[in-house]
Chains A and B, each alone.
Chain A
């Protein structure tokens, strides 16, 4: 099984060689499709053989030797309850994005499909790597193909968009790199053998208890990098540019997978590693998340370009995810995890759909459409389902995530304020407003433009690539338990451990000479203990 995991991750990479060697242009997309499909089918045993009762322990582990002597930096790959579903989502989207590019990409096919395949390997690697350095390598590796996808195959303002996307993400990840190195050495200071440790299992484990000062700085560095990636308000402005200018496949991968790296990173790295900082800053991040929910929705409402609208809706939706993560209870965190998948499905589908209509009309402006529901009935149905999933209609997937997040937020002890859930829930109303308004202006009313009267409805390829997404929207919507069970143990285990660790850290700081600001942030009294009493009660 561990070999299978390796094969799944690197299969697309090897397919790049085949793409580069392909002698005929038509072969290229078939190679890409075959490779991503095989990757998907090969990944299925990973979910069937996954031990749900042990989901907090990484499975299918591959552990290489340490690269440097004295440094515990090693190739460490495996899947646990947090990463499994995101990993599967990535393999699912592989063939879908290849199919979505089938006819719309006409130039530099070799380069294009190599980049898609490379991106696939990089994204899979991000979710499977359990060594911080390896994670960082994959994290950065995924930027490069995306950079070229937007920069070469994007629309008119692609250069500006790609530069902004690249530099913005880069700034965050460089700051994270500094923190990551510091963290490695800090953990090395605790470890009996090595002077530098980047094994996530060790760092997230109970031994590595980081002092409040160091926790704060490292938390902020990691959180900044991930919040840019999410993106959380106010770090979101690269997103509308990147999404609007990217080719369809780029937008889809960006929305469905790459944005999840941010929220995934928040859960994997900031929660169990910096427990005290995580808890103390939670309400502040929740404030940003709630602002993002409302702000993203309001700005989405007045967009004139469908793609930008969907991009801003992502800001709103991912605000929910961040809100759920920092609510720090099983219900909300589980909601956040399933909502990552949901957002991938629904926003991925929306970008695919926008791409399909763009291929036909070469415009994304709402005013260029209107009344096309009669002309393209199948398209209308698919678009409606994706819209309903996005606005959280019960029975479809989006509702499950939003309901769990808001419900958990409502009784979150960290927030201790119903306002977060109440204001967040306003986003549910606004989602209906901006999505249905957009849908109406695009699909309903009389046909205003002559060109729209002859639009072709979806062909089999397009229906086929949307159907799996629809299937999962419904499946998660009515049997969410089939999906949430993979992360249940992980979430419960790490919430408990984070709580315990935060108590231990506070007890260690007793009598330590801390700077004044820590006393304010962590509300320490003269004895060095906090008032976060809820931690002690079970």
Chain B
């Protein structure tokens, strides 16, 4: 076994081992379940160690090195179809592994404190480790089928973790919804794989990307579209995005890890992995961009109207993912991956921050109940918050940093990645194929950037600025502010780590032209482009430096303007009064946004209810009355004949003699005629 095989086995195997140890021992031993330090340590080691190994691999892998494939054993070998359990170390998978294990590790650390009082502690960490294992299969799998194993595996973990508090039927509903919507996407993924296999007789990435000329343009279109439909399920895009906001029913660290930083970016990873195939079908590229842009703005407008801190972040995630797909379709694969990374930092930070806030709000509720006060409030509703910055300084500062980052204010991480996406959209807009459409999408991107900055600062200001509103709104909750407290270090440390990453994360992707303008020489300061050069089939950006500066300036101005407006309206934490102003200004649109464009109701009325009703009232009845009825009728007819013939078989010899005579006469008659 050479070194890379051993290391890959460790990366993949440790989270799996963590899952088994905590899962099996926790299931069978109640004393083990109580041993929370041990459980937490095992689970954390199972992620931190792979992170360190991944760092080692990263520093030993140069940008122009070819992929290292580690084949463990044969998974499927049937006729012409051979699929190995084989892992791939290349620039793209290493980048994803670093994000998954890195962000994953700090979220594991955070969960020690966050889930500390939960009786299902062992189960939670077992699932979380299993998720890391599945996610690593997804990003390291050397063929589409192993990727798919990870793809459905993360879906399973998502299902288990959304429904973690399954006693609440609404939460288990959300879990089921997530799984089934993902399955719809997976259905398309499956068909896509069949088409690939039919064409090249293999599912290995090397074979697929090495034989692109074997695909007809019709197949390229369909395969691209089908994988993209798969991606709309996993990465929550229109039309399959509705499961993600509901997925916030899970514990907050799950929302941060799975539903913001890692799993939901799988679709972007998939398309980047197959970028050389995608660029051959401009129609699919356009569809990807249009869906991405549409999702970005639709989700952003919904986020504007939500009052649940996690739901705002959920819609924000959907919107940012839309941004990434917009980039993919505009040929900015590296830009999309860049945004995947920066988004993982600041959105994980935001989610963990919101978890910290919810943790405190729940704590306040419990304390008040202990004091014998009958209080009933939603600990996630920002209308009960406000003024938390005094009691929760670390949470506030990190949350604010992440908000600035997502809003696209330079020089934080989100600014650079978002700017590159917009640049790609604009550049595609100058291109020949569907230029005007891409230009519109660029406009949508700018509008979304404005909305993003606005709703994110609305959220931050309402939560942390102004006065604590719980005592005002709920009479019994007087004195609640004394129970507010900052979260423990195990929770604030990951917040700070992610906040720092949100500040400096963007520097890996500083556009070269920025430095070139100042130095007057060709610069090579951007780290990401050379790193992904061999994998991401980026469209070149065709613009002068002046235009690039102009666009950048515009983006900054838009974001800054949005922040300023948000500050004016929500800076004092007056969320409801200012929302009323927004409602008045936007009128009927606000209602549409608030009702989330009625996607859920639409699916419910158009698909779910008709199918269930049809199955229940038509098919099940048909099965019993018609299909089985026919069988019974045949049986009944036979029995009827039998009962008639029974009279003939009377057992009386004389009647038999009579039949004999009749028979002879009949035969005679036939012979004579």
Docked pose: A55 CA to B45 CA in angstroms: 47
Q: B179 interface residue, CB < 8 Å from A?
A: yes
> Which B residues touch A6, using CB under 8 A?
none
Q: A403 interface residue, CB < 8 Å from B?
A: yes
Whether the pair B612, A302 counts as a contact (CB closer than 8 A) is yes
Whether the pair A393, B152 counts as a contact (CB closer than 8 A) is yes
Whether the pair A411, B194 counts as a contact (CB closer than 8 A) is yes
Whether the pair A445, B179 counts as a contact (CB closer than 8 A) is no
Question: Which stretch of B78-86, B389-397, B452-460, B553-561 is in the interface?
Answer: B78-86
Whether the pair B191, A425 counts as a contact (CB closer than 8 A) is yes
Q: A388 interface residue, CB < 8 Å from B?
A: yes
Chain A 442-469 against B: per-residue CB contact (8 Å), 1 yes, 0 no?
A: 0111100000000000000000000000
Whether the pair A394, B183 counts as a contact (CB closer than 8 A) is no
With known contacts A406-B194, A432-B179, A484-B78, A299–B615 Cβ distance under 8 A: yes
Q: B584 interface residue, CB < 8 Å from A?
A: no
Return the contact of A407 from the options B169, B183, B197, B620 (Cβ within 8 A).
B197
| Residues A402-424 near B (CB distance < 8 A) | 403-404, 406-407, 410-411, 418, 421-422
> Which A residues touch B624, using CB under 8 A?
237
| Residues B584-630 near A (CB distance < 8 A) | 611-612, 614-616, 619-620, 623-624, 627-628, 630
Whether the pair A388, B156 counts as a contact (CB closer than 8 A) is yes
Whether the pair B615, A330 counts as a contact (CB closer than 8 A) is no
Nearest Cβ distance between residue B116 and chain A, in whole angstroms?
A: 20
> Which A residues touch B179, using CB under 8 A?
432, 436
Q: A271 interface residue, CB < 8 Å from B?
A: no
Q: B27 interface residue, CB < 8 Å from A?
A: yes
Nearest Cβ distance between residue A156 and chain B, in whole angstroms?
A: 17
Residue of B with least CB distance to A295: B619
Return the contact of B183 from the options A429, A437, A479, A484 (Cβ within 8 A).
A429
Return the contact of A237 from the options B172, B619, B627 (Cβ within 8 A).
B627
Residue of A with least CB distance to B73: A479
Whether the pair B183, A478 counts as a contact (CB closer than 8 A) is no
| Residues A139-183 near B (CB distance < 8 A) | 164, 167-168
Q: A514 interface residue, CB < 8 Å from B?
A: no
> Which A residues touch B614, using CB under 8 A?
298
Q: A70 interface residue, CB < 8 Å from B?
A: no
Nearest Cβ distance between residue A437 and chain B, in whole angstroms?
A: 7
Nearest Cβ distance between residue B499 and chain A, in whole angstroms?
A: 36
Docked pose: A202 CA to B28 CA in angstroms: 56
Chain A 5-27 against B: per-residue CB contact (8 Å), 1 yes, 0 no?
A: 00000000000000000000000
Q: B10 interface residue, CB < 8 Å from A?
A: no
Whether the pair B80, A331 counts as a contact (CB closer than 8 A) is yes
Q: B187 interface residue, CB < 8 Å from A?
A: yes
Whether the pair B184, A378 counts as a contact (CB closer than 8 A) is no
Docked pose: A479 CA to B615 CA in angstroms: 37
> Which B residues touch A393, using CB under 8 A?
152-153, 156
| Residues B147-204 near A (CB distance < 8 A) | 148-149, 151-153, 156, 159, 163, 166-169, 172-173, 176, 179-180, 183-184, 186-187, 190-191, 193-195, 197-198
> Which B residues touch A480, using CB under 8 A?
75-78
Question: Which stretch of A127-135, A345-353, A360-368, A369-377 is in the interface?
Answer: A369-377
Q: A440 interface residue, CB < 8 Å from B?
A: yes
> Which A residues touch B187, using CB under 8 A?
425-426, 428-429
Nearest Cβ distance between residue B281 and chain A, in whole angstroms?
A: 19
Whether the pair A445, B75 counts as a contact (CB closer than 8 A) is no
Q: A485 interface residue, CB < 8 Å from B?
A: yes
Task: Give the size category of A's interface with B.
Answer: 35 or more
> Which A residues touch B372, using CB under 8 A?
none
> Which B residues touch A440, using CB under 8 A?
169, 172-173, 176
Docked pose: A429 CA to B616 CA in angstroms: 18
Docked pose: A443 CA to B167 CA in angstroms: 9
> Which B residues touch A418, using CB under 8 A?
191, 194
Whether the pair A444, B623 counts as a contact (CB closer than 8 A) is no
Residue of B with least CB distance to A409: B194
Q: A80 interface residue, CB < 8 Å from B?
A: no
With known contacts A404-B81, A428-B187, A429-B187, A481–B198 Cβ distance under 8 A: no
> Which B residues touch A105, using CB under 8 A?
none
Nearest Cβ distance between residue B635 and chain A, in whole angstroms?
A: 7
Whether the pair B167, A378 counts as a contact (CB closer than 8 A) is no
Chain A 301-334 against B: per-residue CB contact (8 Å), 1 yes, 0 no?
A: 1110000000000000000000000000111001
Docked pose: A411 CA to B219 CA in angstroms: 14
Return the contact of B149 from the options A395, A425, A436, A443 (Cβ within 8 A).
A395
Docked pose: A399 CA to B630 CA in angstroms: 35
With known contacts A425-B191, A429-B180, A478-B75, A377–B166 Cβ distance under 8 A: no
Q: A234 interface residue, CB < 8 Å from B?
A: yes
Output the residue of B145, B193, B194 with the most chain A CB within 10 A. B194
Whether the pair A422, B191 counts as a contact (CB closer than 8 A) is yes
Q: A4 interface residue, CB < 8 Å from B?
A: no
Chain B 386-404 against A: per-residue CB contact (8 Å), 1 yes, 0 no?
A: 0000000000000000000
Nearest Cβ distance between residue B197 and chain A, in whole angstroms?
A: 6
Residue of A with least CB distance to B614: A298
Return the contact of B76 from the options A167, A428, A481 (Cβ within 8 A).
A481
Residue of A with least CB distance to B634: A171
Whether the pair A445, B80 counts as a contact (CB closer than 8 A) is no
With known contacts A299-B620, A395-B149, A428-B183, A436–B194 Cβ distance under 8 A: no
Whether the pair A481, B74 counts as a contact (CB closer than 8 A) is yes
Whether the pair B78, A335 counts as a contact (CB closer than 8 A) is yes
| Residues A109-127 near B (CB distance < 8 A) | none
Return the contact of B193 from the options A388, A407, A446, A488 (Cβ within 8 A).
A407
> Which A residues touch B635, using CB under 8 A?
167
Whether the pair B79, A481 counts as a contact (CB closer than 8 A) is no
Return the contact of B615 from the options A168, A301, A381, A484 (Cβ within 8 A).
A301
With known contacts A329-B79, A440-B172, A432–B183 Cβ distance under 8 A: yes
Docked pose: A445 CA to B175 CA in angstroms: 12
Q: B631 interface residue, CB < 8 Å from A?
A: yes
Docked pose: A492 CA to B80 CA in angstroms: 11
- A sample of 18 cross-chain residue pairs with beta-carbon separation below 8 angstroms, ordered by A number, consists of A237-B628, A299-B615, A330-B79, A334-B79, A373-B166, A395-B152, A404-B76, A406-B194, A418-B194, A428-B183, A429-B187, A436-B179, A437-B176, A479-B73, A480-B75, A484-B77, A491-B79, A492-B79
Interfacial residues, chain B to chain A (CB-CB below 8 A): 27-28, 73-81, 85, 145, 148-149, 151-153, 156, 159, 163, 166-169, 172-173, 176, 179-180, 183-184, 186-187, 190-191, 193-195, 197-198, 611-612, 614-616, 619-620, 623-624, 627-628, 630-631, 635
Interfacial residues, chain A to chain B (CB-CB below 8 A): 164, 167-168, 233-234, 236-238, 295, 298-299, 301-303, 329-331, 334-335, 371, 373-374, 377-378, 381, 388, 393-395, 399-400, 403-404, 406-407, 410-411, 418, 421-422, 425-426, 428-429, 432-433, 436-437, 440, 443-446, 478-481, 484-485, 488, 491-492
Sample of 11 more A-B contacts, CB < 8 Å, known A406-B190, A436-B180: A298-B611, A299-B615, A377-B27, A393-B156, A394-B145, A407-B194, A429-B184, A480-B76, A488-B79, A491-B79, A492-B79
